[in-house]
Chains A and B, each alone.
Chain A
Amino acid sequence: MPESVLTGASDETILDIRDLHVDYGYDERPTHVLRGVDLTVRRGEVLGLAGESGCGKSTLAYAATRLLPPPGLITGGEVWITGADDEKRDWLRLTDTQLRHARWSDVAVVFQGAMNSLNPVHRIGRQLTDAIRAHRPHTSAAERHERGIELLELVGIDPDRIRAYPHELSGGMRQRVMIAMALALEPRLLIMDEPTTALDVVMQRQILEQIADLRARLGFSVVFITHDVSLLIEIADRIAIMYAGEIVESGPARSLYHHPRHPYTAGLLSSFPPLHGPRRDLGGIPGSPPDLAALPAGCPFAPRCAWADDHCRTDHPHATKLDDGARDVACWKPLTR
């Protein structure tokens, strides 16, 4: 099946992360949580980012937007983001003022757990529109109110709720408000960190459909972070798999899902039952998630990998292109199709 039919993406990159390194801890013995991550997202594309918890997928999202809390420290790399003005900027080299200016209008973030992402003491109307006020100071209060109502309608919430406080909304509604909030300045890129994890299955479905629908209408790109790979096949054009602070495999969603080349991807896929299609055996991955403070010398996955040999245990594999360049795999012994 030709993959290009599935992706609505153009070749224009909107996010280009190059060799990103992140540490936890400012002292002499930090934990290296991201170790040379490369990632690109094209315009209009939905990139799914998956991995076990602790693999660094959220860290990647927070580091790229410079929102990582202390003791997080970005030790190297570049994060090029194409702004609304078509200008490419390296967010790691922006001053505070430039960064504040670029935030939300170039990239908006939908955080995990909408319960804590909304300020409990302000009405949602104010929280929906305060970014507009900060970025477009010339707008009038009435215009912003209009826009707030428009945003709520966009995500299917009764505009009357604009005067509600967060605690008066249900969990699903709060998550919708977060999505509406992210769309306030019509950014070209949305980063969504486990946007559906805290919700029940029905609500999860609805939110996913909503995101897909909004993406089709507004044409933004999405980095969709989740630990649940089966969700990604529903929504993502491309999928990247992270393990121990590195991207071990990336490629077109469907082909990666059906024909994983990295043993870890294969293990991860078999830990989740597919929502649609034929059943497959639930396998899972032996061993425990890696301790980032004490990684083995070679491939970080080697201790849990059934195919690992001495080479894997001593030498660190780097990303190699397979399948005519459609797939990147960091493995010495990739699985065959």
Chain B
Amino acid sequence: MSDPTSTSSPQAAPTTVAAAPATNGTFSDDLAPAPAMGRRRFLFLRNAKSILGLSIIGFFVVLAIVGPWIAPHDPNAVNPSASLESPSWSHWLGTSQTGQDIFSQLLVGTRGVMVVGFSAGIIATALAVVIGVSAGFIGGAGDEVLSMLSNIFLVIPSLPLIIIITAQIEGNSHLTIILVIALTGWAWGARVLRSQTLSLRRRDFVEAARANGERRWRIIGFEILPNLTAIIASTFINTVTAAVLAEITLAYIGVASLSDWNWGTILYWAQSSGAFQQGAWWWYVPAGLCVALLGMSLALINFGIDEFVNPRLRSTGLNARTLRQRHIRPRVGFTPVVHEVGASGDRTKARKEADHA
């Protein structure tokens, strides 16, 4: 196994941030126009993908807060006369076999998903930062041990581990689920942060701070962490994604507590009641789409961060329509030619003529 090549947790939204510093080519400096650097700092927030992703997350956060209040029905209320109704005005997303309102279950369940996902994400990211940054910064034997630890946690399949742990705890609360997911989900982030810290440690400004006899925690706090912001953000996004998926899977297989609603619980009941044999698509399709939407918004934020960190992934400000109008197909190895500055409309020549006049 060589260097990590992705900031993302495996599979969730693989990217290549960490590869960038290692593989920067040696094209002459003047192939990279200098002015672009000044604009970089704010690029993340100007990135359309990030903005879209953050908006969707914002929507789900609002739902998590107000969901239980705006839900039209009690998600637990059983109504045998309204069994398996397809979507209608009174039940926007239809009903379950016992006549429960699916839409209300979704609304109420959002809170559980968001709370568990974000709490586990915060704890796992904190663990990743502590372990990854210290491993990268202290180096030597300590680094060996910490790296080994993160690699072990990476290789051990986390979902089965979470399952056997939660299965042995009687009466799982949100808190246990959060802790178990966080304790098994920090390793990828730690690995990426370690390699990034390692490369930062060798940079001039950190070397200078060390030579000045700055205290360790000051160097970490003021020189290293600020430069890891983007990687930490993407680690957080990835752990949240993984936590949401793990949590929903746990609920789906019935390991998590069934008394709390979340999107996975809905899928659990749909599966165990044979919803798809009965064609009750409204029971399980919306919950899955909600997971997908949340996951995609997280992935979009990550794309934005990736493009911020690894300029090669940036779509070079290309607006598809402009490119088509100008007949430009951007690619490596065959620089496009547009012949827009011809003999007549020549900028320089026009200027030269003006100079003569």
Contacts and interface: CB of A to CB of B under 8 A. Distances in A.
A198 B34 contact: no
B19 to A, nearest CB: 14
Given A25-B33, A26-B328, 15 more contacts: A26-B322, A27-B322, A31-B35, A36-B346, A63-B335, A66-B337, A69-B27, A71-B316, A73-B328, A73-B338, A74-B338, A75-B341, A113-B26, A294-B35, A316-B355
Interface residues of B, number: 38
A61 to B, nearest CB: 9
Nearest to A62: B31
Contact of A56 (B30, B328, B334, B335): B30
A21 B27 contact: no
A66 B346 contact: no
A76 B339 contact: yes
A267 interface: no
A26 B330 contact: yes
A101 B167 CA distance: 66
**For the complex of A and B, 6 pairs with smallest distance between CB atoms:** A76-B341, A113-B26, A58-B28, A36-B348, A70-B330, A71-B316
Nearest to A24: B33
| Most A CB within 10 A of own CB, among B26, B30, B338, B355 | B30
B355 A72 contact: no
B56 to A, nearest CB: 27
A214 interface: no
Contacts of B347: 21, 32, 35-36
Interface in A35-65: 35-36, 53-59, 62-63
Contacts of B31: 58-59, 62, 68-69, 72
A110 B6 CA distance: 32
A72 B28 contact: no
19 contacts: A19-B346, A26-B326, A26-B328, A26-B330, A28-B322, A33-B33, A36-B346, A58-B30, A59-B31, A62-B31, A63-B335, A69-B332, A70-B331, A73-B328, A73-B336, A74-B336, A76-B342, A316-B351, A318-B355
Nearest to A77: B341
A318 B26 CA distance: 33
Interface string A295-337: 0000000000000000000011110000000000000000000
A75 B340 contact: yes
Contact of A66 (B328, B334, B339, B349): B334
Contacts of B333: 66-67
Contact of B337 (A54, A74, A315): A74
A116 B352 contact: no
B346 to A, nearest CB: 7
Given A53-B30, A73-B338, A116-B25, A293 B351 contact: no
Contacts of A25: 33, 316-317
Contacts of A53: 28-30
A99 B334 contact: yes
A186 interface: no
A87 interface: no
Nearest to B352: A318
Contacts of A157: none
B168 interface: no
A249 interface: no
A63 B339 CA distance: 13
Contacts of B155: none
A62 B349 CA distance: 23
A112 interface: yes
A92 interface: yes
B289 interface: no
Interface in A65-101: 66-77, 92-93, 96, 99
Given A56-B30, A57-B30, A68 B335 contact: yes
B319 interface: yes
